Structure 1
Amino acid sequence: MTENTDTSQFNADELQAPAWLNVQFIEEVLSAYEKVPLHVTDLKITPATAQGDHYASVMFRTVAEYTTEKGKFSKPLIVKTMPEQEGHKKDMLSKSHIFETEILMYTKALPEFERILQEAGDNTKLYVPCIYHSLEPRQVMIFEDLVPQGYTVIRDRPATKEELKKVFSKLAKWHAVSMKVINERPDFLKEFKYGMWDMTEFLNDPMVTSGLPCFIEMLDKVPELMKYKPYFEKIKENYIQRMSEIMLEYRNGPQANRYYVLCHGDFHIRNMMFKNNKKTGAFEDVMLVDFQISNVCPITVDLTYSVYMLMESEERCELGKDFINYYFTVLEDTLQKVGFKGEMPTQSGLWEHIRGHRYYDFFLMTSFLGMMLAIKTKSLKLTDLILDPETRQKSYFLDAFLKDVKTLLPKFEKLGYFENL
């Protein structure tokens, strides 16, 4: 049964567990995982995440009490499944490849990446083991719960620089190993071809299609920003096409002097869990989660996304310079350690690649940044931002959003982003 709890902080579709998520199902899963007969004596189920944490799945936290011949045991688990309730979320995700992709990440890509790192003397953990997965009769993944192990999602404060450096260190190591694999065994990652830009329902959703029009409307009403309106008017008819060219560049025709990796695809703060020492409080580790749109694509997809969806205003308005340069030092070091045989990337080349994909900056700023800041400042709710046009429009006039835009647009102008649109 689902435990009674305060429902206001959770997503509505996670308040009641589906009928199939029951004692019998968990008993079968644990018996197979533990490789011993067992009997589940009690099962507690609660929502696994808070509002604003995610949208592309339904998640439950379960605690299974069970017995075997060796005694009584307890196992905390996270159950992740596709939306079953009729509505926007199910409509947007039902035809996607997100579960196939994530299962492949946990069972194929990430274990191989860890193996390569370990051979190079690096024991970095890139993922938490998946103890069960299925696509039929339903799409489900089950993991050991990280919370009892001391990991938490950061919600009520910014991540520290120490925490973010660890985040970018892990990303750099993952990217470096994927560059090695792409260079030596490109077919190994051929199945990772479904990113954000392959989700037709997502691309046609008002959350995406209304972004630039809402942004232009804001520019028209803020006197000091009105001068930028013609630039965005100029691109509004073709910027989605330009974005597609960026996202699909690796598959349609890799470019010279460009860097391609297996990207996370949704690299934001709620897709990371941070661990501090229980006794000293010292920061120890971060674990990346939610690999549903991981795909082989330009390295910019994760790095530029992090500027808008992970960093704080100060770093964002410098386009992530310090963190991305730190990331590059780890990327370069890891490539050398794992024996990368391709042409080594350069820091100047990385920045040239990032700035060459200016349309991705435009897209993230006009479509996602306002929503992210609205959630972070608790000004508006995620479901309202996605489903209600009036709420979405309000996010473009939030003080936090306007503050960043008033810094970013002059920065773009100085860098030449508005030339030759």
Structure 2
Amino acid sequence: METSTNGQVLDPALYNEDELVPPTWINGEFFETVLKTAKKGDIEKIINYNISPATLKGDHFASIMFRGVVQYLDKSNTKQEISLIIKTMPEIEGNKKDILSDSTIFEVEIDMFRDVIPKFEEMLKSVGDNTKLSANMLYYSLSPHKVIVLQDLTKLGYTTIGQRMCTLDEIRMALGKLAKWHACSYILNQEINGGLEKFISGTFNMPGVDKNECFTKGTERLANLARETPKLQKYADKLDQVKHLVLPKCCEIYDMCKTKGHINVLSHGDFHAKNLMFRINPKTQLSEEVLLIDFQFCVWGSMALDILYFIYMAIDFQLREKVYDEMIYEFFCKFRETLKLLNYKGKLPKFSDLQKDLLLIRRSEIYIASTFLPFMVSFIENPETGPEDIVNSVDKQYELYKLQGYIDTIQPTLERFLNRGYFDNLLEDDDE
């Protein structure tokens, strides 16, 4: 067997530093184990393999990912080739590894690919809906290394969104698929007596979030920006008053949503533009299909969590302010439509129920806009700066808040927060 990794020279500016060199255990023996599982034993031997980074800098954070192109002989001695996506935990010492070391994100994602997603797709198929939600998982292991191997969606014509936000058509596609995901989980959880409620760690309360200032100081840094920026100064006092409340109040959302009266579902948990892959029509060059990726932060909670996160992390601010209410309503209509399609026999949730949840978790909007949104703006304006560059540098974290794109997007956002009483309501909640 010829064992080789790629011989090409990689531009380190384009890729995450911890993905330039794959771990030594991703080798011929590993690929043979993977293919014996994926191909159900129809493999005679590995001929050759080539390993390269699977994504560009800024496309993901909570793992390291590689593309393995493997040539092998099957049992009939015919030469075959397969492209695989290998996803595993960071091994280089640093903040990224520290933040993720105590998490169960790989256990959660394995559960999604192995048990949950196939069940959702089976539920839809049983009523004539052949919706595909994501890639197929080909292999997984938690020991000696946490690793997931997936089919390579680029071979099916799918691509990530690149350095931009979603178009209106892509927004509708993504929210339509999310609505089906939520509807399936809403029904399945009742059928399995609350079995999906075991997923309790989301983006706000994941172990390790409190280890880095980029996740804990966002609202404080936005308050400082507001005080230093003339057109934002009217919001500075309000931000100062709530900066210590936002993250703790966000963490309370998961417990709050366990009580009755909420539309609770299995949330994707990290539903942003870079966690979507679109299939492009070669003639029109427009997106015609979407698949969801990255299920490490799936959590049981209000459907409002995914909706609000997506609105900020996938939609350009100018479009966001125009379609904010419209997209929420369209999403909910698709959710109810899917419940009916799946022959749900219970009482259908009402739009007013979702509106109550949106009001209840408004605090998450403040956190998303002050902490996660600067990251997304940076990935678009400064693609050479990856998430680990920001996590590892306090100076780079401060630079996020000086980006003109962020200043432009946060002003109308803060105005809406002010006019809708978000800041005052957060303070009133704290007084109760």
TM-score (norm 2): 0.92
Give 1:397 deviation, angstroms: 2.1
Give 1:380 deviation, angstroms: 6.6
Give 1:318 deviation, angstroms: 4.5
- For the residues of structure 1 that align with 2:323 and 2:167, how far apart are their CA atoms? 17
Given candidates 24, 27, 33, the residue that maps to 2:29 is 24
Relative to structure 1, the CA distance from residue 75 to residue 191 in structure 2 (aligned partners, 3 Å threshold; closer, same or farther) is: same
Give 1:81 deviation, angstroms: 0.4
One-letter code aligned to 2:304: T
The aligned runs of 1:287-366 (5 Å cut-off) are: 287-318=291-322, 320-366=324-370
Q: Aligned pair 1:369/2:376, yes or no? A: no
Structure 2 unaligned residues grouped into runs of 5+: 428-432
Give 1:173 deviation, angstroms: 0.4
- For the residues of structure 1 that align with 2:273 and 2:88, how far apart are their CA atoms? 21
Match of 1:38 in 2: 44
Kept after mapping to 2: 8 A contact 1:77/1:145: yes
Relative to structure 1, the CA distance from residue 189 to residue 248 in structure 2 (aligned partners, 3 Å threshold; closer, same or farther) is: same
One-letter code aligned to 2:59: D
Kept after mapping to 1: 8 A contact 2:165/2:314: no
- For the residues of structure 1 that align with 2:383 and 2:57, how far apart are their CA atoms? 13
Match of 1:56 in 2: 62
Relative to structure 1, the CA distance from residue 175 to residue 206 in structure 2 (aligned partners, 3 Å threshold; closer, same or farther) is: same
Match of 1:99 in 2: 106
One-letter code aligned to 1:396: Y
One-letter code aligned to 1:175: H
Give 1:247 deviation, angstroms: 2.7
SS at match of 1:26: helix
Match of 1:2 in 2: 5
One-letter code aligned to 1:57: S
Give 1:72 deviation, angstroms: 0.7
Match of 2:75 in 1: 69
Q: Aligned pair 1:123/2:130, yes or no? A: yes
Deviates more, 1:81-90 or 1:390-399: 390-399
Give 1:362 deviation, angstroms: 0.7
Give 1:223 deviation, angstroms: 2.2
- For the residues of structure 2 that align with 1:282 and 1:236, how far apart are their CA atoms? 41
Given candidates 139, 147, 153, the residue that maps to 2:146 is 139
Deviates more, 1:231-240 or 1:331-340: 231-240
Deviates more, 1:404-413 or 1:96-105: 404-413
Identity across matched positions, percent: 34
Match of 1:159 in 2: 166
SS at match of 1:28: helix
Relative to structure 1, the CA distance from residue 191 to residue 327 in structure 2 (aligned partners, 3 Å threshold; closer, same or farther) is: same
- Residues 324-350 of structure 1, C-alpha deviations (whole Å, 9 max, x = no match): 222112111001111223332222332
Relative to structure 1, the CA distance from residue 88 to residue 319 in structure 2 (aligned partners, 3 Å threshold; closer, same or farther) is: farther
- Residues 325-381 of structure 1, C-alpha deviations (whole Å, 9 max, x = no match): 221121110011112233322223322311221110110111111121011112771
Which 4+ runs in 1 deviate beyond 4 A?
A: none
- For the residues of structure 1 that align with 2:170 and 2:159, how far apart are their CA atoms? 12
- For the residues of structure 2 that align with 1:237 and 1:395, how far apart are their CA atoms? 20
Kept after mapping to 2: 8 A contact 1:317/1:404: no
One-letter code aligned to 2:401: Y
SS at match of 1:397: coil
Give 1:284 deviation, angstroms: 2.5
- For the residues of structure 1 that align with 2:209 and 2:95, how far apart are their CA atoms? 10
Relative to structure 1, the CA distance from residue 14 to residue 177 in structure 2 (aligned partners, 3 Å threshold; closer, same or farther) is: same
Kept after mapping to 2: 8 A contact 1:374/1:398: yes
Q: Aligned pair 1:410/2:410, yes or no? A: no
Give 1:319 deviation, angstroms: 7.0
Kept after mapping to 2: 8 A contact 1:78/1:145: yes
- For the residues of structure 2 that align with 1:285 and 1:180, how far apart are their CA atoms? 25
One-letter code aligned to 1:62: G
Match of 2:187 in 1: 180
- For the residues of structure 1 that align with 2:408 and 2:337, how far apart are their CA atoms? 36
- For the residues of structure 1 that align with 2:194 and 2:354, how far apart are their CA atoms? 24
Kept after mapping to 2: 8 A contact 1:273/1:289: yes
Kept after mapping to 1: 8 A contact 2:14/2:384: no
Kept after mapping to 1: 8 A contact 2:219/2:246: no
- Residues 42-84 of structure 1, C-alpha deviations (whole Å, 9 max, x = no match): 1000000111001100000010001123311000000000011
Relative to structure 1, the CA distance from residue 185 to residue 206 in structure 2 (aligned partners, 3 Å threshold; closer, same or farther) is: same
Kept after mapping to 2: 8 A contact 1:101/1:194: no
Give 1:203 deviation, angstroms: 2.7
Kept after mapping to 1: 8 A contact 2:390/2:396: yes
Match of 1:389 in 2: 394
Please tell me the root mean square deviation across aligned C-alpha atoms, in Å.
1.7
Kept after mapping to 1: 8 A contact 2:58/2:383: no
Given candidates 213, 226, 232, the residue that maps to 2:233 is 226
SS at match of 1:287: strand
SS at match of 2:424: coil
Query: How many residues in Structure 1 have an aligned counterpart in Structure 2?
Result: 418
TM-score (norm 1): 0.95
- For the residues of structure 2 that align with 1:405 and 1:28, how far apart are their CA atoms? 49
Kept after mapping to 1: 8 A contact 2:182/2:335: yes
One-letter code aligned to 2:300: V
- For the residues of structure 1 that align with 2:384 and 2:163, how far apart are their CA atoms? 15
Deviates more, 1:173-182 or 1:311-320: 311-320
One-letter code aligned to 2:419: K
- For the residues of structure 2 that align with 1:212 and 1:335, how far apart are their CA atoms? 38
The aligned runs of 1:262-277 (5 Å cut-off) are: 262-277=266-281
